[in-house]
Structure 1
Protein backbone atom coordinates (compact mmCIF):
# COMPACT_ATOMS: atom_id res chain seq x y z
CA UNK A 1 0.00 0.00 0.00
CA UNK A 2 1.42 3.24 -0.99
CA UNK A 3 0.82 6.34 0.93
CA UNK A 4 0.47 9.53 -0.92
CA UNK A 5 2.43 11.97 1.19
CA UNK A 6 2.16 15.57 0.11
CA UNK A 7 5.32 17.33 -0.80
CA UNK A 8 6.73 20.27 1.09
CA UNK A 9 5.31 22.69 -1.41
CA UNK A 10 1.84 21.37 -0.95
CA UNK A 11 2.11 21.59 2.83
CA UNK A 12 3.61 25.05 2.59
CA UNK A 13 0.77 26.20 0.25
CA UNK A 14 -1.78 24.75 2.62
CA UNK A 15 -0.15 26.51 5.57
CA UNK A 16 -0.06 29.83 3.69
CA UNK A 17 -3.74 29.51 2.77
CA UNK A 18 -4.64 28.59 6.32
CA UNK A 19 -2.64 31.47 7.81
CA UNK A 20 -4.17 33.86 5.24
CA UNK A 21 -7.64 32.74 6.16
CA UNK A 22 -6.89 32.97 9.89
CA UNK A 23 -5.44 36.45 9.46
CA UNK A 24 -8.51 37.61 7.47
CA UNK A 25 -10.96 36.42 10.17
CA UNK A 26 -10.53 39.47 12.46
CA UNK A 27 -11.06 41.78 9.45
CA UNK A 28 -14.21 39.93 8.49
CA UNK A 29 -15.39 39.91 12.13
CA UNK A 30 -14.69 43.64 12.29
CA UNK A 31 -16.74 44.11 9.09
CA UNK A 32 -19.59 42.10 10.58
CA UNK A 33 -19.43 44.15 13.80
CA UNK A 34 -19.49 47.40 11.81
CA UNK A 35 -22.51 46.18 9.82
CA UNK A 36 -24.21 45.08 13.04
CA UNK A 37 -23.55 48.50 14.62
CA UNK A 38 -25.08 50.21 11.57
CA UNK A 39 -28.11 47.89 11.77
CA UNK A 40 -28.51 48.63 15.50
CA UNK A 41 -28.17 52.39 14.85
CA UNK A 42 -30.80 52.26 12.09
CA UNK A 43 -33.06 50.19 14.35
CA UNK A 44 -32.70 52.81 17.12
CA UNK A 45 -33.59 55.59 14.65
CA UNK A 46 -36.60 53.58 13.51
CA UNK A 47 -37.70 53.06 17.12
CA UNK A 48 -37.37 56.82 17.80
CA UNK A 49 -39.38 57.72 14.67
CA UNK A 50 -41.96 55.07 15.56
CA UNK A 51 -42.27 56.65 19.02
CA UNK A 52 -42.89 60.05 17.42
CA UNK A 53 -45.52 58.56 15.10
CA UNK A 54 -47.23 56.82 18.02
CA UNK A 55 -47.25 60.07 20.03
CA UNK A 56 -48.67 61.96 17.06
CA UNK A 57 -51.28 59.25 16.51
CA UNK A 58 -52.29 59.37 20.17
CA UNK A 59 -52.73 63.14 19.88
CA UNK A 60 -54.80 62.72 16.71
CA UNK A 61 -56.96 60.05 18.35
CA UNK A 62 -57.58 62.31 21.37
CA UNK A 63 -58.49 65.21 19.08
CA UNK A 64 -60.83 62.92 17.14
CA UNK A 65 -62.48 61.85 20.41
CA UNK A 66 -63.07 65.50 21.38
CA UNK A 67 -64.47 66.32 17.94
CA UNK A 68 -66.72 63.26 18.07
CA UNK A 69 -67.99 64.19 21.54
CA UNK A 70 -68.70 67.76 20.40
CA UNK A 71 -70.48 66.48 17.28
CA UNK A 72 -72.60 64.13 19.40
CA UNK A 73 -73.61 67.06 21.63
CA UNK A 74 -74.61 69.10 18.58
CA UNK A 75 -76.59 66.21 17.14
CA UNK A 76 -78.39 65.66 20.45
CA UNK A 77 -79.15 69.37 20.77
CA UNK A 78 -80.58 69.58 17.24
CA UNK A 79 -82.77 66.47 17.39
CA UNK A 80 -85.86 68.40 18.58
CA UNK A 81 -85.35 71.03 15.88
CA UNK A 82 -84.99 68.36 13.20
CA UNK A 83 -88.17 66.65 14.39
CA UNK A 84 -89.94 70.03 14.47
CA UNK A 85 -88.72 70.91 10.97
CA UNK A 86 -89.68 67.49 9.59
CA UNK A 87 -93.28 68.03 10.71
CA UNK A 88 -93.55 71.49 9.12
CA UNK A 89 -94.96 72.10 5.66
CA UNK A 90 -93.27 74.34 3.12
CA UNK A 91 -95.90 77.00 3.78
CA UNK A 92 -95.19 76.89 7.52
CA UNK A 93 -91.44 77.12 6.96
CA UNK A 94 -91.89 80.17 4.72
CA UNK A 95 -94.17 81.76 7.32
CA UNK A 96 -91.59 81.07 10.05
CA UNK A 97 -88.89 82.70 7.93
CA UNK A 98 -91.07 85.78 7.41
CA UNK A 99 -91.75 85.87 11.17
CA UNK A 100 -88.04 85.71 11.96
CA UNK A 101 -87.47 88.55 9.47
CA UNK A 102 -90.01 90.65 11.39
CA UNK A 103 -88.59 89.91 14.86
CA UNK A 104 -86.41 93.05 15.05
CA UNK A 105 -89.40 95.26 14.27
CA UNK A 106 -91.56 93.32 16.74
CA UNK A 107 -88.92 93.66 19.46
CA UNK A 108 -88.71 97.40 18.82
CA UNK A 109 -92.52 97.83 19.09
CA UNK A 110 -92.60 95.68 22.21
CA UNK A 111 -89.94 97.83 23.88
CA UNK A 112 -91.20 101.22 22.66
CA UNK A 113 -94.99 100.79 22.55
CA UNK A 114 -96.38 97.77 24.36
CA UNK A 115 -94.14 97.59 27.43
CA UNK A 116 -94.87 101.21 28.48
CA UNK A 117 -98.60 100.51 28.17
CA UNK A 118 -98.28 97.34 30.24
CA UNK A 119 -96.51 99.40 32.88
CA UNK A 120 -99.60 101.63 33.24
CA UNK A 121 -102.23 98.88 33.45
CA UNK A 122 -102.36 99.05 37.22
CA UNK A 123 -103.61 102.65 36.90
CA UNK A 124 -105.94 101.92 33.94
CA UNK A 125 -107.88 99.15 35.66
CA UNK A 126 -110.06 101.42 37.84
CA UNK A 127 -110.76 103.69 34.84
CA UNK A 128 -111.97 100.71 32.78
CA UNK A 129 -114.28 99.60 35.61
CA UNK A 130 -115.75 103.09 35.80
CA UNK A 131 -116.21 103.13 32.00
CA UNK A 132 -118.00 99.77 32.14
CA UNK A 133 -120.31 101.08 34.86
CA UNK A 134 -121.17 104.14 32.73
CA UNK A 135 -121.80 101.90 29.68
CA UNK A 136 -124.15 99.74 31.78
CA UNK A 137 -126.04 102.85 32.95
CA UNK A 138 -126.34 104.12 29.35
CA UNK A 139 -127.66 100.72 28.22
CA UNK A 140 -130.27 100.69 30.95
CA UNK A 141 -131.28 104.23 30.04
CA UNK A 142 -131.64 103.35 26.34
CA UNK A 143 -133.67 100.25 27.13
CA UNK A 144 -135.99 102.45 29.18
CA UNK A 145 -136.87 104.61 26.14
CA UNK A 146 -140.44 103.86 24.92
CA UNK A 147 -140.44 101.96 21.61
CA UNK A 148 -136.85 100.73 21.95
CA UNK A 149 -137.90 97.07 21.73
CA UNK A 150 -139.67 97.81 18.42
CA UNK A 151 -136.51 99.49 17.01
CA UNK A 152 -134.32 96.60 18.13
CA UNK A 153 -136.59 93.97 16.48
CA UNK A 154 -136.69 95.99 13.26
CA UNK A 155 -132.86 96.18 13.24
CA UNK A 156 -132.63 92.40 13.74
CA UNK A 157 -135.06 91.78 10.86
CA UNK A 158 -132.99 93.99 8.54
CA UNK A 159 -129.84 92.10 9.46
CA UNK A 160 -131.56 88.79 8.61
CA UNK A 161 -132.72 90.15 5.24
CA UNK A 162 -129.20 91.31 4.35
CA UNK A 163 -127.64 87.96 5.19
Structure 2
Protein backbone atom coordinates (compact mmCIF):
# COMPACT_ATOMS: atom_id res chain seq x y z
CA UNK A 1 0.00 0.00 0.00
CA UNK A 2 1.38 3.29 -1.01
CA UNK A 3 1.18 6.22 1.36
CA UNK A 4 0.25 9.52 -0.21
CA UNK A 5 2.91 12.14 0.19
CA UNK A 6 1.83 15.71 0.81
CA UNK A 7 2.20 18.20 -1.92
CA UNK A 8 5.42 20.19 -1.38
CA UNK A 9 3.44 23.40 -1.45
CA UNK A 10 1.41 22.22 1.53
CA UNK A 11 4.46 21.23 3.50
CA UNK A 12 4.61 24.46 5.58
CA UNK A 13 0.97 24.05 6.60
CA UNK A 14 1.51 20.40 7.44
CA UNK A 15 4.62 21.18 9.44
CA UNK A 16 2.85 23.95 11.35
CA UNK A 17 -0.03 21.58 12.27
CA UNK A 18 2.31 18.75 13.22
CA UNK A 19 3.07 19.87 16.80
CA UNK A 20 -0.63 20.25 17.51
CA UNK A 21 -1.31 16.76 16.23
CA UNK A 22 1.67 15.32 18.15
CA UNK A 23 0.47 16.98 21.37
CA UNK A 24 -3.05 15.64 20.68
CA UNK A 25 -1.60 12.15 20.21
CA UNK A 26 0.42 12.50 23.41
CA UNK A 27 -2.67 13.62 25.34
CA UNK A 28 -4.65 10.66 23.93
CA UNK A 29 -1.76 8.29 24.81
CA UNK A 30 -1.60 9.67 28.36
CA UNK A 31 -5.37 9.25 28.75
CA UNK A 32 -5.15 5.72 27.36
CA UNK A 33 -2.28 4.89 29.74
CA UNK A 34 -4.35 6.21 32.67
CA UNK A 35 -7.29 4.04 31.65
CA UNK A 36 -4.97 1.03 31.22
CA UNK A 37 -3.50 1.69 34.69
CA UNK A 38 -7.02 1.84 36.20
CA UNK A 39 -7.96 -1.36 34.35
CA UNK A 40 -4.80 -3.08 35.59
CA UNK A 41 -5.62 -2.03 39.18
CA UNK A 42 -9.15 -3.44 38.83
CA UNK A 43 -7.72 -6.64 37.36
CA UNK A 44 -5.28 -6.89 40.28
CA UNK A 45 -8.13 -6.34 42.75
CA UNK A 46 -10.15 -9.05 41.03
CA UNK A 47 -7.14 -11.38 41.12
CA UNK A 48 -6.65 -10.72 44.83
CA UNK A 49 -10.36 -11.36 45.46
CA UNK A 50 -10.18 -14.58 43.43
CA UNK A 51 -7.12 -15.66 45.41
CA UNK A 52 -9.03 -15.06 48.66
CA UNK A 53 -11.99 -17.07 47.36
CA UNK A 54 -9.67 -19.91 46.31
CA UNK A 55 -8.09 -19.93 49.78
CA UNK A 56 -11.55 -20.07 51.41
CA UNK A 57 -12.66 -22.86 49.08
CA UNK A 58 -9.44 -24.77 49.81
CA UNK A 59 -10.11 -24.39 53.55
CA UNK A 60 -13.70 -25.54 53.19
CA UNK A 61 -12.61 -28.48 51.04
CA UNK A 62 -10.02 -29.44 53.65
CA UNK A 63 -12.71 -29.32 56.39
CA UNK A 64 -15.24 -31.18 54.22
CA UNK A 65 -12.90 -33.98 53.16
CA UNK A 66 -13.10 -35.95 56.46
CA UNK A 67 -16.86 -35.46 56.52
CA UNK A 68 -17.20 -36.70 52.95
CA UNK A 69 -15.11 -39.74 53.87
CA UNK A 70 -17.28 -40.48 56.92
CA UNK A 71 -20.45 -40.06 54.87
CA UNK A 72 -19.05 -42.39 52.21
CA UNK A 73 -18.33 -45.09 54.80
CA UNK A 74 -21.79 -44.63 56.35
CA UNK A 75 -23.49 -44.78 52.96
CA UNK A 76 -21.58 -47.94 52.06
CA UNK A 77 -22.80 -49.60 55.28
CA UNK A 78 -26.41 -48.38 55.05
CA UNK A 79 -27.05 -48.80 51.35
CA UNK A 80 -27.82 -52.58 51.40
CA UNK A 81 -30.37 -52.47 54.25
CA UNK A 82 -31.94 -49.26 52.92
CA UNK A 83 -32.26 -50.81 49.48
CA UNK A 84 -33.96 -53.82 51.05
CA UNK A 85 -36.28 -51.62 53.14
CA UNK A 86 -37.08 -49.20 50.32
CA UNK A 87 -40.40 -50.82 49.24
CA UNK A 88 -41.55 -51.01 52.86
CA UNK A 89 -40.52 -47.42 53.54
CA UNK A 90 -42.28 -46.23 50.38
CA UNK A 91 -45.50 -48.03 51.39
CA UNK A 92 -45.24 -46.62 54.91
CA UNK A 93 -44.71 -43.11 53.57
CA UNK A 94 -47.61 -43.43 51.11
CA UNK A 95 -50.08 -44.79 53.66
CA UNK A 96 -49.23 -42.88 56.83
CA UNK A 97 -51.27 -39.78 57.55
CA UNK A 98 -50.08 -36.82 59.62
CA UNK A 99 -52.61 -37.78 62.32
CA UNK A 100 -51.05 -41.25 62.54
CA UNK A 101 -47.58 -39.74 62.84
CA UNK A 102 -48.81 -37.45 65.62
CA UNK A 103 -50.39 -40.43 67.39
CA UNK A 104 -47.13 -42.37 67.10
CA UNK A 105 -45.19 -39.45 68.58
CA UNK A 106 -47.67 -39.28 71.46
CA UNK A 107 -47.32 -43.02 72.03
CA UNK A 108 -43.53 -42.78 72.07
CA UNK A 109 -43.82 -39.93 74.58
CA UNK A 110 -45.89 -42.23 76.85
CA UNK A 111 -43.58 -45.26 76.56
CA UNK A 112 -41.62 -44.59 79.78
CA UNK A 113 -44.82 -44.43 81.86
CA UNK A 114 -46.31 -47.45 80.06
CA UNK A 115 -43.14 -49.45 80.69
CA UNK A 116 -43.11 -48.49 84.37
CA UNK A 117 -46.76 -49.51 84.82
CA UNK A 118 -46.29 -52.73 82.90
CA UNK A 119 -43.40 -53.69 85.16
CA UNK A 120 -45.01 -52.60 88.44
CA UNK A 121 -48.70 -53.38 87.89
CA UNK A 122 -49.43 -55.71 84.97
CA UNK A 123 -46.58 -58.21 85.18
CA UNK A 124 -47.12 -58.94 88.90
CA UNK A 125 -50.80 -59.66 88.18
CA UNK A 126 -49.84 -61.89 85.25
CA UNK A 127 -47.62 -64.01 87.49
CA UNK A 128 -50.58 -64.73 89.80
CA UNK A 129 -52.96 -65.78 87.00
CA UNK A 130 -51.75 -69.37 87.21
CA UNK A 131 -52.97 -69.65 90.78
CA UNK A 132 -56.19 -67.69 90.11
CA UNK A 133 -57.46 -70.00 87.35
CA UNK A 134 -58.54 -72.87 89.67
CA UNK A 135 -60.34 -70.36 91.93
CA UNK A 136 -62.24 -68.96 88.93
CA UNK A 137 -63.27 -72.48 87.89
CA UNK A 138 -64.55 -73.16 91.40
CA UNK A 139 -66.45 -69.87 91.39
CA UNK A 140 -68.01 -70.72 88.01
CA UNK A 141 -69.11 -74.14 89.29
CA UNK A 142 -70.72 -72.57 92.37
CA UNK A 143 -72.46 -70.00 90.12
CA UNK A 144 -73.93 -72.77 87.93
CA UNK A 145 -75.16 -74.68 90.97
CA UNK A 146 -76.74 -71.51 92.37
CA UNK A 147 -78.40 -70.85 88.99
CA UNK A 148 -79.84 -74.39 88.97
CA UNK A 149 -81.14 -73.98 92.53
CA UNK A 150 -82.76 -70.64 91.66
CA UNK A 151 -84.35 -72.23 88.60
CA UNK A 152 -86.13 -74.78 90.83
CA UNK A 153 -87.78 -72.15 93.01
CA UNK A 154 -91.49 -71.65 92.22
CA UNK A 155 -92.13 -68.63 89.95
CA UNK A 156 -88.52 -68.25 88.91
CA UNK A 157 -89.22 -69.58 85.39
CA UNK A 158 -91.53 -66.63 84.65
CA UNK A 159 -89.03 -64.14 86.09
CA UNK A 160 -86.27 -65.72 84.06
CA UNK A 161 -88.41 -65.54 80.89
CA UNK A 162 -89.24 -61.86 81.55
CA UNK A 163 -85.54 -61.02 82.08
CA UNK A 164 -84.62 -62.75 78.80
CA UNK A 165 -87.33 -60.85 76.90
CA UNK A 166 -86.13 -57.56 78.37
CA UNK A 167 -82.55 -58.36 77.34
CA UNK A 168 -83.72 -59.12 73.79
CA UNK A 169 -85.58 -55.78 73.63
CA UNK A 170 -82.51 -53.94 74.90
CA UNK A 171 -80.36 -55.69 72.29
CA UNK A 172 -82.75 -54.75 69.48
CA UNK A 173 -82.79 -51.09 70.57
CA UNK A 174 -79.01 -50.88 70.67
CA UNK A 175 -78.72 -52.22 67.08
Q: TM-score, normalised by structure 1?
A: 0.51
How far residue 98 of structure 1 moved from its aligned partner, in angstroms, is: 2.1
Question: Alignment partner for residue 161 of structure 2, among 137, 142, 153?
Answer: 153
The one of 74, 86, 95 equivalent to 2:94 is 86
Match of 1:68 among 58, 75, 82: 75
| Alignment gaps of 5+ in structure 1 | 1-55
* 1:132/1:155 CA distance change after superposition, 3 Å: closer
1:144 maps to 2:152: yes
RMSD: 3.1
The count of corresponding residues between Structure 1 and Structure 2 is 105
Structure 2: unaligned runs, 5 residues or longer: 1-61
Q: 1:117 aligns with which of 81, 102, 125?
A: 125
Question: 2-side partners of 1:153 and 1:89: how far apart?
Answer: 51
TM-score normalised according to structure 2 size: 0.48
Higher normalized contact order (CA 8 Å, seq sep 6+, divided by chain length): 1
Distance 1:152 1:69 in 2: 74
Point out 4+ residue stretches in structure 1 off by more than 6 angstroms.
Answer: none
